[in-house]
Amino acid sequence: MKQIKLCIIIALLLFIPLTLYYFIPTRITPKKELSKDDIKIKVHLQVTTGPLYYLKEDKTKLWNTIKNTYPDANPKYVQLTGNLPNYAVNDPALLGDFYIYGKVIGTYNDSAEGKIPLFNVKYSDASLAPIFRDDSLLERFSILFLFLPLVTLLLLISLIVILFKEYKNKKS
Residue 100 pLDDT grade (very low, low, confident, very high; cuts 50, 70, 90): very high
One domain, residues 147 and 70: no
Q: Which DSSP state fits 92?
A: G
One domain, residues 73 and 155: no
Within-domain flag for 50: yes
Domain that holds residue 159: 2-24+134-171
Which ranges in 108-147 belong to alpha helices (H)? Answer: 142-146
21-59 pLDDT, tens digit each: 888 888 888 888 888 889 999 998 887 766 778 888 888
More confident residue, 172 or 70: 70
> Which uninterrupted H or E stretch holds 20?
helix 2-23
Q: For residues 35 and 24, what is the distance between their CA atoms, to the nearest angstrom?
A: 30
Using CA atoms in the order 95, 100, 103, 105, what is the torsion angle rounded to 10 degrees?
0
- Residue 67: Cβ-neighbour burial (10 angstroms; 0-12, 13-18, 19+): exposed
Residue 140 pLDDT grade (very low, low, confident, very high; cuts 50, 70, 90): low
101 has pLDDT over 90: yes
One domain, residues 66 and 31: yes
One domain, residues 34 and 113: yes
Q: What total of structural domains would you count in the chain?
A: 2
Within-domain flag for 73: yes
Within-domain flag for 129: no
One domain, residues 20 and 30: no
Contact partners, residue 36, CB within 8 Å, separation at least 6: none
Residue 138 pLDDT grade (very low, low, confident, very high; cuts 50, 70, 90): low
Using an 8 Å Cβ cutoff, are 42 and 172 in contact?
no
**pLDDT for position 135:** 66
% of the chain surpassing 90 pLDDT: 12
One domain, residues 49 and 118: yes
110 has pLDDT over 70: yes
One domain, residues 37 and 56: yes
One domain, residues 75 and 160: no
Predicted TM-score (pTM) of this structure = 0.70
**Amino acid of residue 76:** K
